[in-house]
Amino acid sequence: MAQNSKRRQHNSLMESGHMKTVQPRKQRKMLFQAPLHIRFKHFSAPLSPSLKASHHVNSIPVRTGDTVRIMRGDRKGSEGKVTKIDRKKYRLFIEGVTREKVDGTAVQAPIHPSKVMITSLNLDDKWRSKSLKIEVAKEVEKVGEKPEEPKKERKKRKPRKTPSQKAETARKRKVKTSTEEKKGVAEIG
């Protein structure tokens, strides 16, 4: 019973295109050995409701210069600009979020990107602003009125024959006579 549920869960993961395994050790291995272009996607964070409404996108990868609000942990509610991103260790460093070392010096505290929400975007990058505009254009097209296409009429199926009707058609079939069979053979040969 348990194997069937595991198998179903595994198959659903395979079909959805996410992790291809349910084994935690393999998932961690895939996460920590991921190449940079995939790590970039792992840095996605949700947008604030106002940004969602204006850009029509739910989440976008965090970059330096973005302003984020911490949503989890001791520093929940604090807000600041992202100063540094460590893709190797999957951590963000936010302006004003520090911790004290034993000797008394302050160091920036690392935050995981899933624990923040983007409140304002750094749109200095042309590619990033262009990609957001494309997303907005797609959403506007979906929302805008489209001309309605006439619905195609389906061909009506013929009703199924009842057993008595089938018997009648079998009787009506013409049985070839021996002369007709000879003609067919003569035409072929």
In the chain, domain spans: 1-33, 44-138
Q: Is the pLDDT of residue 128 over 90?
A: no
83 Cβ neighbours under 8 A, 6+ residues apart = 64, 93, 94, 95, 108
Which pTM does this prediction carry? 0.61
pLDDT of the residue at 9: 58
Instruction: Over range 4-28, report the average pLDDT.
Output: 69
Band of residue 153 on the pLDDT scale cut at 50, 70, 90: confident
Closest CA to 62 of 45, 38, 81, 80: 45
pLDDT of the residue at 14: 44
Continuous segment of H or E residues that includes residue 185: helix 178-188
Q: Is the pLDDT of residue 175 over 60?
A: no
Instruction: Over range 59-76, report the average pLDDT.
Output: 94
CATH class of 44-138: mainly beta
Closest CA to 66 of 42, 87, 85: 85
Mean pLDDT of the chain: 82
Task: For residues 47 and 50, give the distance between their C-alpha atoms in angstroms, rounded to a whole number.
Answer: 8
Exposure string for 50-83, b = 16+ CB within 10 A, e = fewer? ebeeebbbeebbbbeebbbbbeeeebeeebbebe
Q: What is the DSSP letter of 114?
A: G
Which of 118-127, 150-159, 172-181 has the weakest average pLDDT? 172-181
Side-chain half-sphere exposure of 54, counting CA atoms within 13 A? 9
pLDDT of the residue at 11: 52
